[in-house]
Amino acid sequence: MITTRAGARPADLFAATAWHHEINARITGDHDFLLTERQRSRRYPSRLLRYFIPFHWLGREAARRGRPLKVCEIGIAHGLMLRYVLSGLDHLGLDPADVIGDWIGVDMKLLHDDLAKVPYDGLIEANFETEPGKIPGDCDVYVLLHVLEHLYEPERAIRQLVSRVPSGSLLLVGFPSHLHPFIPLREPRLRAHTNSNGHVSALSARRFNAAARSNGCDIEEARGAFFLRASGMFLEDQRWWQQFNLAWGRLVPGWLGEVYIAARKR
């Protein structure tokens, strides 16, 4: 178990290989993170890995820079990423002000009733795909979780974003992962039969990495989230199962499911 202490610093807890598995056991607390009742009953819901992985990358970036970060999150929806970050930092005994200086949220339609309960430092209503000029150009980290699959031209959106961000800034992205050779078959089907999730693009780690590199980014880390989601199953009560999923994701980032990538602008 993690022993926390008052006055801990990011550098104390976010070493290059540290993954604090215990936070998923307590993080849901007073918020359900859109989990089903069955998922909430488990200690380590795999759905929370979409926040768990970028949470650690944010901590490592704050430790690397030695100061609080200015973050821009694009596609905030209900504000779950920031909720998770604040809960995780509290669980680890860290003062959020030591990790996050400012957190700007962007979405094409702001859910004001939900977001009023989340301490954003600024909110911007903008369509990321068609209004790139509204995205702040002075942040340390840009977070895009489950956004790119909703865009008809993800490569163009990546190019427009990277052209605005400072050198050295970090992009943290996550999206459903498809087997790369089958994207030409899968994407037309998505666009012809779009369902309630609104996915119109089929993405892979290889597809994103190529777009990021061609626009002046280096890929620092790419990892899948799980071998098998096992959502709500008894396996999600086992710490070893989360450890296995994280290890598998590191070794096979192109596996079906979800992929998360940290890319830095040169």
Above 50 in pLDDT, residue 3? no
Range of the domain at 251: 10-265
**At 259, is the secondary structure helix, strand, or coil?**
strand
Residue 164 tokens, joined: 């605005």
At 59-101, the pLDDT tens digits run 999 999 999 999 999 999 999 999 999 999 988 889 999 999 9
Write down the pLDDT at residue 195.
76
Write down the pLDDT at residue 29.
62
pLDDT band at 230 (very low <50, low <70, confident <90, very high): confident
In a domain, residue 2? The reply is: no
pLDDT band at 37 (very low <50, low <70, confident <90, very high): confident
State the average pLDDT over residues 162-183: 96
State the average pLDDT over residues 182-209: 93
Instruction: Check if the beta carbon of residue 103 is closer than 8 Å to that of residue 80.
Output: no
pTM: 0.94
Residue 46 tokens, joined: 């795999």
**At 263, is the secondary structure helix, strand, or coil?**
strand
CATH number at residue 57: 3.40.50.150
Number of structural domains (the chain) is 1
Write down the pLDDT at residue 2.
43
In a domain, residue 5? The reply is: no
